[in-house]
Amino acid sequence: LLGGGEDGPQMAALDLLIRDGGVNRAVAAGGAVLAVCAGFQLIGTQLPGADGRMVAELGLVDAWTQYDQRPRSVGEVVVRSHEHPDQVWTGFENHQGVTRIGPTMTPLGHVLRGVGNGLDDGDGWQRVEGVHHGAVFGTYLHGPVLARNPELADEVLRAAVGPLEPFIDEWADQLAQERRATLW
């Protein structure tokens, strides 16, 4: 799990993660990663540093982040899963970055409400949220994202440990449905 953080600590964490190389080795060996918010930005290929110049990132996915004059993205977000269109996931986003994913990457989902990776302003930005590539998941969904979205938790667990027997948690499913109903 790579979580979010403020700009200074985010850049310090990136430096340590690159120098250590453990996350990249783990993914190369089949490990799973869930990267949320600033963590999502760190798994890409480049990100603006404190001076505005682009800095190399972990390179686990073909994605890059930029900062511009767009308003900060804050609020509830609702996403339809790209790989499972019958599933709708929710979260709370709070980020300044606008993240593009490369043409060979799969978005985690398609934005129904909120901003996700970037604003759809006619310049080619897709109304998508996150990225899913192999066992690597990147998202701007806070929430906590896994507690709010049991189906996504199952996807991440399958990526980490392999096939799982079906587990039905009616209470968790009911809570997720109630949460989603408040956002439509």
- Catalytic residue numbers read 37, 142
CA 104 to chain centre: 16
**How far apart are alpha carbons 130 and 138 in whole angstroms?**
5
Task: Indicate the SS3 state at residue 135.
Answer: coil
For residue 6 the two structure tokens come to 């403020």
| Cβ pair 95, 5 in contact under 8 A | no
| Cβ pair 67, 96 in contact under 8 A | yes
Question: What are the beta bridge partners of residue 34?
Answer: 137
In this structure, how many other beta carbons lie within 10 angstroms of the beta carbon of residue 158? Answer: 13
